Amino acid sequence: MDKATVHDVDVRGKRVLERVDFNVPLDESGHITDDTRIRASLPTIQYLLDSGASVVLMSHLGRPKGKVDEKYSLRPVAERLSELLGKPVQMAPDCVGPQVEAMAQALQPGQVLLLENLRFHAEEEANDPAFAKQLATLGDLYVNDAFGTAHRAHASTEGVTHDLPAVAGFLMEKELNFLGSALEHPKRPFVAISGGAKVSDKIAVLDRLIDIADAILIGGGMANTFFKANGLFVGDSLVEDDKLDEARRLMAKAQASSKRFVLPVDVAVGDRFAADADRVLTTPDHVSEGWRILDIGPQTIVAFGEVLADAETVVFNGTMGVAEFPAFAQGTNALIGLLVERTAEGATTIIGGGDSAAAVEAAGAADKVTHVSTGGGASLEFLEGRTLPGVAALRDK
């Protein structure tokens, strides 16, 4: 990675303004149901505190649309972070303003302040320069450890870097190193697995993966569009009819490049889109009217396993079926099992954030693969080869 990190700057006695990704799921009563993102931020926070800095943390939570909405308050995060750090975490009443500035300035080395939700202000997503300057007054140095928001040019990810020296945290560094090395210098064979509902979300990714991977495995709802592009009838399955030509182009590109482009050979169909739908195995050319493809089948897992058998680098982005329905999560879970096996045998396995990361967490396999990205949209845009504003704004080494 060619970006400077917290290791490259002296933080002793400094107030560090750190962008973290504390956009965690909450239940109806406001309790955190998954603290993975909070735990992922701990190494950088602890390093800064141990190095004699005070830390001002900022994050968004949910989509309050530029207005104060108590159900999106970061107070539960402050409580959980305090438990994890084993020390008090002060909670600011807002993220800008005189009271917040006074709290930040009063911090002593080793102390932590968490700002209230950045998105309670519309100026955050608008990357308003005046708002960014207000945030910048809260620190002497800026650290971005929120890879999941790095694809957005917001006040807290890009704007503040115009007023403060800006470096990466350890989580940001880890994400860029794993994803970057997979795309630029992969150990081969390099196999990419792409799933999810829509081809339209993945066209740019697939274009790039066909250029750099040795094989591409396709699953999820997006496979239906490729089936139909090949002339198959897929019943009531989700299909993007306006992307059939794109699907044909991608398959032709892979063929012309002598890249393996592997579609499912069997599928699990349901009689409706529901968790308790009847589940029947069939082939993609025998989907009945009124039924819809909701998962890949066991023969597809065998076929995918043959491709993965000697893979040295694997990038997995997007689930193989409707993973939130247990009956139709079987393909995704079986694939995760294959990735765990490859990891144990020395392969580098990278889970590209979003639904695929959630599925790996739910399967209890997060610590059995090489790297689980914390960025959904950011991972996707990075895989596409796009410049991430939050990364580009950081100092070079």
Q: Which residues contact 70 (CB under 8 A, 6 or more apart)?
A: none
From 198, 249, 279, 395, the catalytic residue = 198
Strand order in the sheet with 54-58: 89-91, 112-114, 54-58, 15-19, 141-144, 166-168
Phi, psi of 376 (to 5 degrees): -85, -75
Going from the C-alpha of 160 to that of each of 99, 156, 367, 393, the distances in angstroms are 19, 6, 34, 9
Q: Tell me which H or E stretch contains 101.
A: helix 98-105
Contact status, residue 188 vs residue 181, Cβ threshold 8 Å: no
Q: Spell out a b/e string for 217-247, using b for 16 or more CB atoms within 10 Å of the CB, else e.
A: bbbbbbbbbbbbbeebebbbbbbbeebbebb
From 169, 354, 375, 390, the catalytic residue = 354
Residue 259 falls in the annotated catalytic set: no
From 37, 202, 259, 292, the catalytic residue = 37
Residue 354 falls in the annotated catalytic set: yes
Determine the distance from the C-alpha atom of residue 331 to the mean position of all C-alpha atoms in its chain, rounded to a whole number. 21
As a whole number of angstroms, the distance between CA 330 and CA 332 comes to 6
As a whole number of angstroms, the distance between CA 279 and CA 149 comes to 37
As a whole number of angstroms, the distance between CA 209 and CA 268 comes to 27
Q: Which residues contact 80 (CB under 8 A, 6 or more apart)?
A: 32, 35, 38
Please, what sign has the CA dihedral across residues 83, 84, 90, 93?
negative
Report the SS3 class of residue 328. helix
From 110, 337, 377, 395, the catalytic residue = 377
As a whole number of angstroms, the distance between CA 50 and CA 75 comes to 24
Contact status, residue 110 vs residue 48, Cβ threshold 8 Å: no
Residue 305 falls in the annotated catalytic set: no
As a whole number of angstroms, the distance between CA 325 and CA 339 comes to 21
Catalytic positions: 37, 198, 354, 377
